[in-house]
Amino acid sequence: MTNAAFPQLRIVPVRMLKPETAERLLNMLACVAGIRRMMIHGPGLPKVVPYGPARGSPNPHSDRRAIRVADAEIALRVQVGMVILEVEDASVIEEVRSLCDGFFVEFPYLLQEGRFMKTAPTLVDYAKYGPDADTSLVGLTDPRNGEKPVVIRTEQCGA
């Protein structure tokens, strides 16, 4: 089980981020020491139209593509509307705030502190990963998706 004492942040830009902008932001965040877990959230970008008269036909969308964050290739299946972080301690919050202040200069954003990720394993976590699941994956499970979350290694960030 993860420790509930870890602070959590939510970065909410006032508009959806394009893949290029999201990639730059996530790469900057990936190099911040003290971030334990990161999750992107937003409306889904399905490959096929899920309902309506065009159900089952291809759904071409320019924002559904792969981005590169640190050493990992991530296929965007959502339009990035917010980034949720779990950090080691409160000192990392100010570092994230100053990074975001420098990044979001063309449009505003909100940085909220609170509880945005689950901290205890849910039934979905247990069903998907079993009783001996990696605790860093708790609460990051999408029950409708067959893929595991992407784990990002940040060795090449340097300083």
- Per-residue pLDDT tens digits for 58-75: 998 989 999 999 888 988
Q: For the chain, what is the mean pLDDT?
A: 86
pLDDT digits (tens, 9 = 90+) for 111-159: 999 998 887 777 777 777 777 777 777 777 666 776 767 777 666 565 4
pLDDT for residue 87:
92
* Cα separation, 153 vs 144, whole angstroms: 26
pLDDT for residue 17:
96
